[in-house]
Amino acid sequence: MRTLNLTLKVWRQSGPNDPGRFEVYEARDINEDSSFLEMLDVVNERLIAENKEPIAFDHDCREGICGSCGMVINGVPHGPKKLTTTCQLHMRNFKDGDTIVVEPFRATAFPVIKDLVVDRSAFDKIIQAGGYITAPTGAARDANSILIPKPVADRAFDAAACIGCGACVAACPNGAAQLFTAAKLAHLNLLPQGQPERWSRTVAMVDTMEEYFGSCTNYAECEAVCPKGISIEFIAKMNRDYLKAKFKDRREVVKVDMTEAAG
């Protein structure tokens, strides 16, 4: 079993309104097969033993599913390994003697709560704006009773893989959330059950997104750091649906105006 001795430069911040600073910690005898979060657990256990404040960080499932483990490692959200969440990043991806810089996600829409923990509730507001599906689904149905072309089902599944971690926002120079919003829209808008509210959902979620996040200018950094490999092609689809939805709205307004004028 190979062990590593590492130097950590970790961002420490007591609260949202407190000044932050980097502090240096030694991570000694770290098992190369441990995850990044397990390494932080070891460091925290030693800090607690020394009666010092442990490093605060988000985590939950530790299986790459929940999206909680957001942090920037050596300047990259989730660290150097592609298609990998922080909790699934293993220490064998680093070398003995490395210095690792660990920071919270940096985005105006994600204010720091404490240390490496940020407030990602702006994502929740986008989801809430989308409402719910009114198509009655009833009990579980046979898988083949709703005919959906396999390419469409596969595409919807690709979008549904988004875990809402926020790495896309943290990597974007504009702090944009188009990839997250586009993925959440696409996995509903592509399927029959998502059609009744497709246009109103798109407008509501995009308009809410623009209240909190910056604009997309196609840097594609979001795609590069997404742990689920979600393509920026979904952003193009979202933009098309948004334009179509606004056009439909304009036609409805014209129709109402013409009806009132005739009456």
In this structure, is residue 263 part of a structural domain? no
In this structure, is residue 260 part of a structural domain? no
Could you list the residue range(s) of the whole structural domain that residue 234 is in? Answer: 119-254
- Predicted confidence at residue 65, as pLDDT, reads 96
In this structure, is residue 35 part of a structural domain? yes
Q: What are phi and psi of 233, to 5 degrees?
A: -60, -30
- Predicted confidence at residue 252, as pLDDT, reads 62
Quick one: tokens of 206? 């995009």
- Both 123 and 71 in one domain: the answer is no
Question: Domain holding 214: CATH number?
Answer: 1.10.1060.10
Domain boundary among 54, 82, 112: 112
In this structure, is residue 237 part of a structural domain? yes
- Both 20 and 55 in one domain: the answer is yes
Question: Domain holding 95: CATH number?
Answer: 3.10.20.30
Low-confidence ranges of the chain (pLDDT < 70): 137, 140-141, 143-144, 250-263
Kindly report, residue by residue over 82-104, the tens digit of the pLDDT: 999 999 999 999 999 999 999 99
Instruction: Quickly list H helices, the chain.
Output: 36-49, 121-129, 150-160, 167-171, 178-189, 198-212, 221-225, 233-262
> pTM of the full predicted structure?
0.91
Alpha-carbon distance 9 to 24, whole Å?
A: 5
Alpha-carbon distance 134 to 199, whole Å?
A: 14
Domain boundary among 96, 112, 128: 112
Quick one: tokens of 106? 């940096």
Count of structural domains, the chain: 2
- Predicted confidence at residue 1, as pLDDT, reads 75
